Structure 1
Amino acid sequence: MPSQAQVWRDVQARLASGQGFWVYAYGSLIWKPAFEPLQALPARVWGHHRALRMRSLRDRGTPQRPGLVFALLPGGCCTGVVQRVPDDQAEAVFETLWQREMEGSPYRPHWLRARTGNGPVSALGFTLPGQSERHARELGEAELLDILRHACGRHGSTLDYLLDTARALQQHGIHDPQVQALVAMARRHGLHRADAGR
């Protein structure tokens, strides 16, 4: 796996060549970015797909009751958002991103070729290896519902994370059938965000 120093050298090379530093957002980075993007464009990558399959032991759950967050898993394709980092903020943004996405997590950094309406860009994305012990594999509806009902960590519940991601995708005009199916399942069973009705 590339080290932090190696990935930073890649960022510097892209800045020097005029390509810019882009980040690929597919989950919480869409609705809670680590910086104010110069541009944010819908973009599709091939070779990875978004799935609510990474066990969260801190942010959206606990070791005793793990939650789930979205991950980029091998295979298929995914439509997310590429975010352009201001050149003069590149180092600070990179440090923030690395701490947020890599410390204590099983993610691996990759340069993903993302297709946008303005052409392709190379964007830094954080992916989950299929063999990771944090990969939840296939979950049945009963287990998913139990997690959505009860799992909560330092940043809130798995349910709120799902609903926030679904809303952000919709705001960017991105339709993900699997995300919408999860939201529909939660609604069928009367699940609502924690602050609903307040």
Structure 2
Amino acid sequence: MSGEAPPPQADEFWLFGYGSLIWKPPPHFDRRIPGWVTGYVRRFWQASEDHRGTPQDPGRVVTLISRSYWKQLADHYGSAPDKVWGVAYRIEPDRVAEVKAYLDIREINGYTIHHTPFHPAAAAVTPGGSINPSPTIRTLVYIGTPDNEQFVGPQDPQELAEHIYRSAGPSGANRDYLWGLEAALDELSPESGDEHITDLSNRVRAIAAAAARDERERIGAKEDVLHREQRHHEQPHDFRRRGSVDEQEETEKTW
């Protein structure tokens, strides 16, 4: 798939992915272009009951919040990048209806359809050979808006990290979603990192490391107990075995 941004056509269907779509693309795309959108903030503020959690214990996935609304909230992260990096996919024209149906199922848990201008990271070359900024592409994007029932809003970062660490659903562990997003963003551009994602990833890694250390200590303590018990059973004991002579002497003493 070419990463060079073509001039957008009115009848083209483009999809913007800012979460798992970055590394788990939709079917039937013929172009994949890194870039960004503006006017939004990406946060792990959407509950997931169908992919990275369950109805009984929902996980957390990302959504986009309009920057104007986000500024009204008491977010523990006081800043957010102006650009929300992700990937735009152009869907093959004869497969658009099929892909839309697929996405409606994949993004059904609280997400609704919106459209936003996408800025390709690649530069476009004009017929004369000069390089101009790539044209903006109109993309479809799925957003869990604050009025949907799965929107959870601002959360304490450490509590959120602990929730992500222990959550899992049909699509796998919640922490793998977080780490997958972090890795995917790092691959797009030197400037495509997201402080919110990086901070949560580091917190979850620290929780995982502490849990692994505790497990090693638990296993080590259990093995120490087993070894002590084994050594105890292997110690020689000075038990005197009665022989026939001893038995005879005892018999004689009774007379």
* Class of the TM-score when normalised by the shorter of the 2 chains: 0.7 to 0.9
RMSD, aligned CA: 2.0
Aligned match of 1:167 in 169, 183, 189? Answer: 183
Q: Distance in 2 between matches of 1:48 and 1:185?
A: 24
**Correspondence 1:49 to 2:67:** no
Q: Distance in 2 between matches of 1:142 and 1:163?
A: 16
After the TM superposition, which residues 135-150 of structure 1 pair with which residues of structure 2 at under 5 Å, given as runs? 135-150=151-166
Mean Cα deviation higher: 60-69 or 36-45: 36-45
Mean Cα deviation higher: 152-161 or 93-102: 93-102
Distance change in 2, residues 1:191/1:84 (3 Å): farther
The SS at the match of 1:111 is strand
The SS at the match of 2:95 is helix
Contact 1:43/1:79 (8 A) holds in 2? yes
Task: Encode CA deviations 1:61-102: one digit per residue, 9 max, x unaligned.
Answer: 112222101111221641111111112222211221122113
TM-score scaled to structure 2, two decimals? 0.63
Larger radius of gyration: 2
Contact 1:55/1:66 (8 A) holds in 2? yes
Mean Cα deviation higher: 64-73 or 137-146: 137-146
Contact 2:29/2:90 (8 A) holds in 1? yes
Task: Encode CA deviations 1:80-128: one digit per residue, 9 max, x unaligned.
Answer: 11111112222211221122113xx221201111111332100000112
The answer for the alignment partner of 1:176 in structure 2 is 194
Residue 22 of structure 1 and its aligned partner are, at CA, apart by: 0.4
Structure 2 gaps, min length 5: 1-7, 68-81, 123-133, 211-255
Q: Distance in 1 between matches of 2:138 and 2:204?
A: 35
Distance change in 2, residues 1:29/1:95 (3 Å): same
**Correspondence 1:127 to 2:127:** no
Residue 30 of structure 1 and its aligned partner are, at CA, apart by: 1.0
Contact 1:66/1:147 (8 A) holds in 2? no
Q: Distance in 1 between matches of 2:209 and 2:65?
A: 27
The answer for the alignment partner of 2:76 in structure 1 is none
The answer for the alignment partner of 1:88 in structure 2 is 94
The SS at the match of 2:138 is strand
The answer for the alignment partner of 1:112 in structure 2 is 116
Contact 2:114/2:142 (8 A) holds in 1? yes
The SS at the match of 1:145 is helix
Q: Distance in 2 between matches of 1:18 and 1:142?
A: 45
Distance change in 2, residues 1:185/1:90 (3 Å): same
Residue 19 of structure 1 and its aligned partner are, at CA, apart by: 4.4
Residue 185 of structure 1 and its aligned partner are, at CA, apart by: 1.5
Q: Which amino acid aligns with 2:27?
A: F
Q: Which amino acid aligns with 2:141?
A: G
Q: Which amino acid aligns with 1:88?
A: D
Q: Distance in 1 between matches of 2:208 and 2:112?
A: 36
TM-score scaled to structure 1, two decimals? 0.80
Contact 2:18/2:87 (8 A) holds in 1? yes
Q: Which amino acid aligns with 1:33?
A: P
Residue 166 of structure 1 and its aligned partner are, at CA, apart by: 1.0
Residue 18 of structure 1 and its aligned partner are, at CA, apart by: 4.2
Q: Which one has the bigger strand percentage?
A: 1
Query: How many residue pairs get matched?
Result: 175
